[in-house]
């Protein structure tokens, strides 16, 4: 009978992160610009082709926030907590700048939704200030929450590692 499960032959599985995504996630500017462009186009599509249902609105906001914090988390995961202090707010500022660049292009094309109509260039400062306030708040709050969780997990696993070393018998 063939031996389907070899016993003394360890098998190592190696998982490697794609180099392209790694390079992208390390770059603050690229991640923030991509996030800003995608989020603003998504926001414009949702507001233009959306429904009046509160459930639709809640789902659309949730998808947008999850996309924002997902991209932020993918970027911050590459750096120690000390660097998050300046990286998170800078990510928010660059992301807002990218969103506002897309907003200018959409206003110029007559496709930027604003209320029940289309935005004009006079509406741009209102849009920019609201987006800056909301995105910066979300990004900074998420970075604080994530830093707290990371700190707690590191302390907990560090304490568990110390306890595991204490429990090992001395030979």
For the stretch 144-159, pLDDT in tens is: 999 999 999 989 987 5
Please give the structure tokens belonging to residue 135. 């995105």
If you compute the radius of gyration of the chain from its CA atoms, what whole number of angstroms results? 23
DSSP assignment of 27-50:
-HHHHHHHHHHHHHHHHHHHHHH-
Question: Is the overall model pTM greater than 0.95, yes or no?
Answer: no
Q: Which residue has the higher pLDDT, 62 or 163?
A: 62
Q: How confident is the model at residue 162 (pLDDT cuts 50, 70, 90)?
A: very low
pLDDT digits (tens, 9 = 90+) for 99-140: 999 999 999 999 998 888 899 999 999 999 999 999 999 999
Q: What residue ranges do the domains of the chain occupy?
A: 27-158
Q: What are phi and psi of 114, to 5 degrees?
A: -150, 105
């Amino acid at each position: 009978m063939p031996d389907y499960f070899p016993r003394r032959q360890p098998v190592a599985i190696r998982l490697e992160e794609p180099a392209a995504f790694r390079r992208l996630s390390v770059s603050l500017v690229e991640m923030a610009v991509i996030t800003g462009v995608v989020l603003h186009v998504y926001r414009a599509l949702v507001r233009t082709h959306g429904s009046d249902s509160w459930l639709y609105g809640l789902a659309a906001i949730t998808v947008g926030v999850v996309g924002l914090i997902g991209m932020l988390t993918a970027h911050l995961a590459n750096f120690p907590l000390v660097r998050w202090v300046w990286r998170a707010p800078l990510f928010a500022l660059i992301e807002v700048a990218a969103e506002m660049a897309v907003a200018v292009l959409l206003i110029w094309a007559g496709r930027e939704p604003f209320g029940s109509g289309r935005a004009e260039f006079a509406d741009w400062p209102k849009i920019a200030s609201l987006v800056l306030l909301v995105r910066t708040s979300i990004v900074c709050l998420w970075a604080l929450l994530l830093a707290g969780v990371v700190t707690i997990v590191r302390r907990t696993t560090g304490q568990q590692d110390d306890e595991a070393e204490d429990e090992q018998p001395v030979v």
